[in-house]
With several copies, the nearest count.
Chain A
Amino acid sequence: MMTNPITDQKPVMLRVMEKKTENTGFATLFFEYSLPFRPGRFIMVWIPGLDEKPYTISLHDQDRFAVTIEAKGIFSKKALTLEKGDLIGIRGPFGNGFEIKPGQSAAVVAGGCGMAPLATLADHLPDITTFIHGARSKEFILFPGRFSVPREFCTDDGSLGHKGLVTDLLEKNIVLGKHFDMVYACGPEIMMYKVFELCETHGIPCQVSLERYMRCGFGVCGACVCGKQVVCKDGPVFHSRDLRKMKDFNTKALLKSGKEVDLSQYFSWRCQ
């Protein structure tokens, strides 16, 4: 089957080329297709008859790309029942992606499924000096053996590495005198906020990747706004210089209805 080019216009159906179960409740779907790519960008994944949701590109090389999905609600659970050869609709990529400057010494801080966008960053970034990954427990650690840079782990239950938060490890590194030109973080919003605060305290710029409910993916419908920012278009990656002005960062988000609510209320029905 010849595939039409994937664009940010109407979805194009692609066959799952391979499916890899990462660990409890996570799987990676591979597609044979070369997307125009930058780490941190995302695609909209459509399961006809069900729904369409944004997913970060978690792997990208010459002739394939992948998304890594955590089973949460109806959609992601259904996505994980897909098998090799099944068709899925894709449009994109969307969003800005991470800002990368060669030669910068960088820390990468991933929480749970927040590993997905950071994985391609780590694949592409030459100068990671610290790579921190936190998860609920050992079984939830993504992509073992993938990266050349070793990760420092932490888990909620202490089953692997430090028992505690990724910010503990980041702070330790900073306090121990390690120099970072940039910190990249993705995970639960509260975690990203804590990373941001820590970075501000120590005068280190950071970039985090936000998540909001999305419809269009290209900055028109307003579903994903966060203060003055349009997450799908201006983001999903935001730099410290933006975050300082984003009073809704870690405080507010819009429900599907457009209702503005506290983040806790928002995440009570959204993933995490």
Chain B
Amino acid sequence: MSIRFLHKILKNPTVLASGILGNSKDILERVHENGCGLMTLKSIGPEPRDGHKNPTVIDLGCGMINAVGLPSPGYLNMENEWEALENRNFPIIASVYGSSIDEYRKVAEYVSSKKPDFIEINISCPNSEKHGMIFGINRESSRDVVSAVKKVISVPLIVKLTPQAPDIADIARTCEDAGADAICAINTLGPGMVIDIESKRPVLSFKKGGLSGPMIKPVAVRCVFDIYKAVSIPIIGLGGITTGEDAVEMVMAGASLVGIGTAVRYRGIEVFQKVAGEMDDWLADHALSLTDIKGAAHNE
């Protein structure tokens, strides 16, 4: 099921979601060996950040809530990682965040010099008071950050959107116009809050956190459906994908590639080869190709 995505040929359409399993070459290599087509690094920020105190990631049964708080070594403190990744035999997306256009630009420019296959800007992270989120819900700020970053990088640009945007399709179109080469949707939903009633306290130390996993799939599918109608650049669809059937559903909504995050919890690191295999089987059973089904839910 090898597939072209922008300038790259991937072994299959599965993508490791940002923030899952991290940034070190070894673990990304293992994810690749387990069948993942394209690996996204955990979002890299301008400064070293420890992230929030625990609890930061809690399973809720039909998904997870997390407020990890964008921990990052800071873009200037990852030489070991970059060095190791130089000799990789797998494609990666480097994810970048910031709290101002300048920060996005600065980090993305530097990261671009490390030659990841793609750069993704996370303009959608809800976990930090200061970072990200604001960009992705507003048309003007989305446009400005995308065009600023686009100018300083030499690899294709993916923009990761938040379902909190009142009109995500409009934001996607704005990003396309501003130079984005692909869209990634969605980041976590919410934010939500879980209160422990015995201690009368929010369980997450940051109180609020983003929702992911099966429970957000309907929102993710709707977002991808809306975005597909609005743009002509490819979409990485993610949010709750756990099985090959989920992946097929996302492709029918309009996704070119399918991201997987929380499902690593439910099906292990093997989830990538499992989902890719199940997609293959489903397509074979139905004598269809990925191209046949892409956006198929839009036909009347």
Contact = CB atoms under 8 A, between A and B. Distances in A.
A and B touch in the complex (CB under 8 A): yes
Interface of A: 1-2, 8-11, 13, 44, 46, 48-53, 87, 89, 91, 214-223, 225, 227-228, 230, 248, 254-260
Main SS class of interface, A: loop
A52 B264 contact: no
Contact of B26 (A13, A87, A225): A225
Contact of B48 (A219, A230, A254, A259): A259
Chain B interface extent, by class: 35 or more
Given A11-B196, A87-B199, A227-B26, A221 B73 contact: no
Contact of A228 (B30, B55, B205, B268): B30
Of B22, B54, B77, B205, most buried by chain A (CB within 10 Å of CB) is: B54
Contact of B203 (A2, A10, A228): A10
B interface: dominant SS:
loop
Contact of A48 (B19, B42, B56, B201): B201
Given A49-B300, A51-B205, A225-B21, A89 B196 contact: yes
B175 to A, nearest CB: 27
A95 to B, nearest CB: 14
A220 B199 contact: no
Contacts of B265: 216, 218-220
A46 B27 contact: no
A49 B298 CA distance: 12
B53 A51 contact: yes
Given A52-B54, A256-B51, A257-B48, A220 B20 contact: yes
Interface in B222-269: 261-262, 264-265, 268-269
Nearest to A3: B198
A220 B31 CA distance: 12
Contacts of A217: 57
Given A11-B203, A52-B54, A221-B56, A228 B21 contact: no
A13 B19 contact: no
Contact of B77 (A11, A220, A228, A259): A259
Contacts of A221: 19-22, 56-57, 66, 68
Nearest to B56: A215
A43 B71 CA distance: 23
Nearest to B77: A259
29 contacts: A1-B286, A10-B60, A13-B196, A48-B196, A51-B205, A52-B205, A53-B54, A89-B203, A214-B54, A215-B54, A215-B68, A216-B265, A219-B265, A219-B269, A220-B57, A221-B22, A221-B56, A221-B68, A222-B23, A227-B26, A230-B21, A230-B269, A254-B22, A255-B73, A257-B50, A257-B72, A258-B73, A259-B48, A259-B77
